[in-house]
Amino acid sequence: MLKRCLPLPFVLACLALAACKGADPAKTRTQAAPAKVTAQTVESKPWSDVIEALGTAQANESITLTAKITETVRRVNFSDGQAVSAGDVLIELTASQQTAQLKDAQAMARDADRQYQRQQDLVKQGTVSRALFDTATASRDSNSAKVDAIRAQLSDRVITAPFSGVLGLRRVSPGTLVTPGTPITTLDDIDVIKLDFSVPETLLGALVVGQEVQARTAAWPERQWEGKITSIDSRVDIASRSVLVRAEISNPDRVLRPGMLLSVQVFRAPRDALVLPEIALVQIGTDSYVFRIKPDSSVEQVRVVPGARRRGEIEVREGLQAGDRIVVDGTVKLRGGAKVAVEESVGATAAPAAAN
């Protein structure tokens, strides 16, 4: 009989299979190296929640200066943007007619007063009736009242600053005919700025008078102003379901101006909270997880409930305890039960072995 020859590839495959069966499984099994990660020990730290809002700057005191009467401007005593004190004369209106009337009224008042003095002496002597003396008294009082009335008219022709502040743009010139309500300029006291901002009604319980605030503006992004809440509105807006809050901010260099938009931060009372670096958090759908390192250097995936966030840190409300060691960097290559090798630790309470 003729011997049947087997194909060479089949023979080689059989030889390789026999060699594998005879090999030691412990030597051929691939050993997975521990993943290198950065870890941190969970600590309880002071945490202050921040309420953020947008506010509008208001002057501490603000008015638009107008005339009380119809008259022409005789003199303008200020320039645009000038700082003035309370009582400074800003505008003088024409008052020649009232000045003449005042002189006439003063002369009549002096004569009526002399008549009163004579009648008073005579009535004491009994040579003048009491009725004549009463007439002299009425004449004196009437003429004195006319003097006061004309002086009041003259005062309406002199417009002064009711309080100290900074003037706006001048809107009249000498010779301008002004009427009641005609804008002359604006006056703002901006040494202190009132900052009005709205806060949702759900946060109303977190607000108290005297609470510290910080404000910033896009005009000077590198600067920060500090102030305190001075009042909280007594009503909640039914449309927006928010409450209006007012804070006062010191503005000695008068950089902030009324009408400016400012971003506001209100700081609540500090409390202790578990705080983690934000990069340690793994988001899967709507759930948040961290990898906790067990004593045998393996990791377990732990679901946590995150809270507030700030500058790369996040508060953990549930799921961890102080002293737990969690993976901060290197989470993308981890699975539950995986072994890890900590290259370095971050935080004040890192394990000594990890620091080596």
Q: Which whole number is the average pLDDT over 65-70? A: 89
> 121 is written with which tokens?
């002496």
Helices and strands: H and E segment counts in the chain: 5, 21
Helix (H) or strand (E) holding 307: strand 299-310
pLDDT of 309 reads 79
- DSSP conformation letters of 12-32: HHHHHHHHHHHS-HHHHSPPP
Q: At what angle do helices 96-125 and 130-155 cross, to 10 degrees?
A: 160
- Alpha-carbon distance of 54 to 216, in angstroms, equals 10
Give me the residues paired with residue 237 across strands: 242
Place of tokens 């002004």: 178
Instruction: Report which residue type is found at 340.
Output: V
The answer to whether 248 and 194 have CB atoms below 8 angstroms apart is yes
Residue with tokens 């320039």: 79
Bridging pattern class, strands 83-84 and 71-76: unpaired
Q: Cα separation of 170 and 353, whole Å?
A: 74
DSSP letters for 130-196: HHHHHHHHHHHHHHHHHHHHHHHHHHTTEEE-SSSEEE------TT-EE-BT-EEEEEEEEEEEEEE
Average pLDDT of 48-76? 90
Output the six-digit token pair for 75.
């003199």
Mean pLDDT of 146-154: 73
Average pLDDT of the residues in 78-87: 92
How confident is the model at residue 102, as a pLDDT? Answer: 66
**Which among 228, 268, 269, 270 has a CA at the least distance from the CA of 245?**
228
- How far is 48 from 270, CA to CA, in rounded Å? 4
The model carries a pTM of 0.61
* Element housing 213 (H / E): strand 212-217
Banded model confidence at residue 106, pLDDT cuts 50, 70, 90: confident
Give the whole-angstrom CA distance, residue 308 versus residue 273. Answer: 10
Segment holding 10, helix H or strand E: helix 8-22
190-237 pLDDT, tens digit per residue, is 999 999 999 999 888 888 898 999 999 999 999 999 999 999 999 999
Q: Provide the β-strand partners of residue 87.
A: none
Length of the chain: 356
Please tell me the predicted confidence (pLDDT) of residue 23: 47
Q: Where are the beta strands (DSSP E) in 15-149?
A: 35-41, 43-47, 50-66, 71-76, 83-84, 89-93
- Predicted pLDDT of residue 31: 52
- Looking only at Cα atoms, what is the longest distance across the chain? 183
Which of 325, 286, 323, 291 is CA-nearest to residue 306?
286
Residue 73 near residue 174 (C-beta atoms within 8 A): yes
Residue 40 has pLDDT above 90, yes or no: no
Which range, of 4-18, 40-54, 158-172, 250-264, averages the lowest pLDDT? 4-18
CA 278 to CA 309: how far, in whole Å? 8
Question: Residue 308's pLDDT band (boundaries 50, 70, 90)?
Answer: confident
SS3 85: coil
Residue-level pLDDT at 139: 80
Neighbours of 150 (CB within 10 A): 21
The mean pLDDT of the chain is 81
Q: Within 10 Å of residue 176's Cβ, how many Cβ atoms?
A: 16
Angle at 279 between CA 277 and CA 284, to 5 degrees: 125
Please give the average per-residue pLDDT across 8-32, as a whole number.
Answer: 50
Q: Give yes or no for residue 178 having a pLDDT over 70.
A: yes
Residue 32 pLDDT > 80, yes or no?
no
Confidence of residue 172 (pLDDT cuts 50, 70, 90): very high
- By DSSP bridging, strand 261-267 and strand 212-217 are antiparallel
pLDDT band, very low/low/confident/very high, at 17 (cuts 50, 70, 90): low
pLDDT of residue 98: 64
Lowest mean pLDDT across 157-161, 184-188, 300-304, 352-356 = 352-356
